[in-house]
Amino acid sequence: MKINSFKVNGFGKLKNKQVELKDGINIIYGENESGKSSMLKFISSMFYGASKNKNGKEISDFDKYKPWNIEEFSGKIDYTLDNGENFEVFREFKKKNPLIYNSQKEDISKKFNIDKTKGIEFFMQQTGIDEETFYSTAITEQEGIKLSKSSQASIVQKISNLISSGDDNISYKKSLERINKSQNEEVGTERTSQRPINIVENKINKLIQEKSELEIYKESIYDNSSERESLKLELKDEEIKKEFLKEVKIKQDCNKLKSVEITVSKKLEDEYNKKIEELNNKILEDDSAEGNSLKGYYIALIIFVITAIAIIILSNLNPIAFTSLIPVVLIGIKIIIQKRKENSGEDEFKIISQIDLLRKNKEEQQSVIEDKSERLRQEIEKERQELISKYMGNIDIGYIEETLSQTDEDIVKEIDMKESRINTLKFRLQTMESSNRDIVSKLDNLSKIEEELQDAEEEREELISLNNSYNIAKECLENAYMQVKENISPKFTKNLCDIISRISSNRYTNIVLNDNEDLTVELENGNYIPVSRLSIGTIDQMYLSLRLSALEEISTETMPIILDEAFAYFDDERLSNILKYIKSNFSNNQIIIFTCSNREIQILEKLNIEYNLINLEK
């Protein structure tokens, strides 16, 4: 692909800048602080956007390049892909997504994939290159070369990385060492002793031992569980029977009171009978007394007559005069007898009336007794059936019927027996519960141990999974390394040999990367020396050229090569060699060189190489 032109409306210190680019080499010239670096960043930001994330920097690209004196923070870029398709992209940097137009100026933005954080990934979809790869291959900044000056070994390592892994920042050997180190630190092996896997294994073994010791208590609590359940069932049965017995006792007591009422009524009936008998006896006694009274009167009369005769005889009284008194005496006796009979008749009538009343009351009392007795019998039978119905599901019917037939005294004894048995059962259960509480306190610790054991086993599984992940990562790294070694490394090695041959005027023609990722160069006499013994300038040229050659491997597009003050530390000879190398080996790539020096222009003119000059000072 090639960039045809771009327009900066506002970006950093740049505003209203229109740049036209051509095929081949383009020189963008400007003094320091003229905006060259801002323009380079503008190009990449048009493709990938200006990120608001700091990504380890003090300030984000968005905040760094947002103009502070104008509202416009936008621009447009025009480019053509290798297949001839032309696109224009307009981007307002304050918005996440740009507007993408085809050659007919139709908005085709919706045809590309959209990432929630990055927005429309049109350039990634067109070229297959993400922003990080774009910066590590297509763009070479002055800071990248300056950094190598401080450490020659660092540049050599980057060249080795590029050959062995395809990325100058990735060393297969060091990556593998880092993975092994992380694996060893985060997981460990059977040969280690204080690594996570060793610690968790020791912890698991200790917990298993403690668990096995406490399992005995767990078995003991299970052993008496059936006995406890049996005792609880018996206790429940005894309590139900006790409740049943007490209910029977209450009903018996209640019925006893009712029986007392009937007994009292019967005693009253007996009293009636006794009274009637007494009255009947009184009548008989009165009749006898009356007979005796008459006999007395007659005897008295006889005595009177005899006495009167004796007096007459002894006193010589006139018998006729005395006999005249006899009728008077007889009349008096008769009157007394008559009065007596009258009084006796009245008393007997009263007694007979009382007897009749008593008999009537007696009959009524008998009826009341019969009614109460029948009602009591019915109530007893009803209560019996209710008790049977209430307890039949919980108590054996035989026990119910047997209990209902027992006396009050037997019921009391049975209740006492049940209470005694219930107390015994409760005491037994309390003893077992107390014992179980002691066991449970120990089993609480067992539960904690089991939880810790489960956590430890889960931790071990996680470590095993992590270890497997490390092994998979190493396997993938190994496979990738082998693929790079088979497919990419030979090309890089060939390019490197070609580069070193050109740079050294065929003094060095062969470079070898051994398994230890050490770069060695073959001397003219056939001996090998480390690349690190070459001059820094030579190594810099090798690194830059090899880095650029990686573009052929990362995209199907012929990507433009953007160099920002990349030759500031090259002498004229090396600069001439690298420019010739770029012109020769990257003739299909568009070259964009940002510089504040005339050296590139002078050497290109000396080499008679065409270029397009964009002067930012004008």
204, 167, 64, 80: which is closest to 547 by C-alpha? 167
Confidence of residue 120 (pLDDT cuts 50, 70, 90): very high
**Lowest mean pLDDT, pick from 164-178, 200-214, 381-395, 591-605:** 164-178
**Is the pLDDT reported for residue 517 higher than 60?**
no
3-state helix, strand, coil in the chain (%, to 5): 65, 10, 25
**Is the pLDDT reported for residue 438 higher than 90?**
no
Confidence of residue 76 (pLDDT cuts 50, 70, 90): very high
What CATH class is the domain 1-129+560-618? alpha beta
Give the pLDDT of residue 391.
Answer: 85
d(CA 232, CA 426): 9
Residue with more model confidence, 173 or 317: 173
SS (H, E, C) 534-582: CCHHHHHHHHHHHHHHCHHHHCCCCCCEEEECCCCCCCHHHHHHHHHHH
- What is the C-alpha end-to-end distance of the chain, expressed in Å? 28
Question: Mean pLDDT score of the chain, rounded to an integer?
Answer: 78
Give the pLDDT of residue 291.
Answer: 54
Averaged pLDDT for residues 37-61: 89
d(CA 11, CA 39): 8
Averaged pLDDT for residues 358-370: 73
219, 220, 241, 248: which is closest to 425 by C-alpha? 241
Give the pLDDT of residue 31.
Answer: 87
Instruction: Name the region of 115 (left: φ>0; alpha: ψ -120 to 50; beta: rest).
Output: beta
**Lowest mean pLDDT, pick from 104-118, 284-298, 471-485:** 284-298
Three-state secondary structure call for residue 407:
coil
Cβ-based burial of 611 (10 A; exposed 0-12, middle 13-18, buried ≥19): middle
154, 523, 497, 524: which is closest to 489 by C-alpha? 497
Give the pLDDT of residue 230.
Answer: 85
Q: Residue 133: count other Cβ atoms within 10 Å of its Cβ.
A: 18
DSSP string covering 146-203: HHHHT-HHHHHHHHHHHHHHS-TT--HHHHHHHHHHHHHHHT--TT-SSSHHHHHHHH
Q: Are 68 and 43 in contact (CB under 8 A)?
A: no
Highest mean pLDDT among 5-19, 467-481, 484-498: 5-19
Percentage of the residues of the chain whose pLDDT score is greater than 70: 73
Question: pLDDT tens for residues 410-433?
Answer: 888 888 998 898 899 888 888 877
d(CA 371, CA 376): 8
The number of CA neighbours under 13 Å toward the Cβ of 212 is 5
DSSP string covering 249-278: HHHHHHHHHHHHHHHHHHHHHHHHHHHHHH
Residue with more model confidence, 553 or 99: 99
Highest mean pLDDT among 32-41, 102-111, 358-367: 102-111
Q: Are 42 and 6 in contact (CB under 8 A)?
A: yes
Give the pLDDT of residue 146.
Answer: 39
Confidence of residue 326 (pLDDT cuts 50, 70, 90): low
Give the pLDDT of residue 299.
Answer: 66
d(CA 575, CA 573): 5
Give the pLDDT of residue 49.
Answer: 92
Averaged pLDDT for residues 163-175: 61
**Is the pLDDT reported for residue 292 higher than 90?**
no
Q: Hey, where are the domains in the chain?
A: 1-129+560-618, 225-404
Residue with tokens 């050109």: 502
Confidence of residue 339 (pLDDT cuts 50, 70, 90): low
Averaged pLDDT for residues 189-214: 85
Averaged pLDDT for residues 190-219: 82
d(CA 526, CA 69): 64
**Lowest mean pLDDT, pick from 38-42, 144-148, 557-561:** 144-148
The number of CA neighbours under 13 Å toward the Cβ of 490 is 4
Sheet (strand 519-522) strand order: 511-513, 519-522, 528-530
DSSP string covering 445-480: HHHHHHHHHHHHHHHHHHHHHHHHHHHHHHHHHHHH
d(CA 442, CA 260): 63
Q: Are 586 and 6 in contact (CB under 8 A)?
A: no
Q: Are 565 and 596 in contact (CB under 8 A)?
A: yes
Confidence of residue 86 (pLDDT cuts 50, 70, 90): very high
Give the pLDDT of residue 155.
Answer: 46
Averaged pLDDT for residues 292-308: 62
Residue with more model confidence, 182 or 332: 182
**Is the pLDDT reported for residue 355 higher than 90?**
no
What's the alpha-carbon Rg for the chain, to the nearest Å? 67
d(CA 411, CA 245): 7
Residue 549 phi, psi dihedral angles, 5° rounding:
-70, -20
**Is the pLDDT reported for residue 269 higher than 90?**
no
**Lowest mean pLDDT, pick from 60-64, 109-113, 338-342:** 338-342
Q: Are 494 and 544 in contact (CB under 8 A)?
A: no
The number of CA neighbours under 13 Å toward the Cβ of 477 is 17
Q: Which helix (H) or strand (E) holds 133?
A: helix 131-137
Residue with more model confidence, 281 or 387: 387
Give the pLDDT of residue 42.
Answer: 94
Percentage of the residues of the chain whose pLDDT score is greater than 90: 19
Give the pLDDT of residue 5.
Answer: 96
- CA geometry: angle at 268 spanning 262 and 274, to 5°? 140
Give the pLDDT of residue 171.
Answer: 63
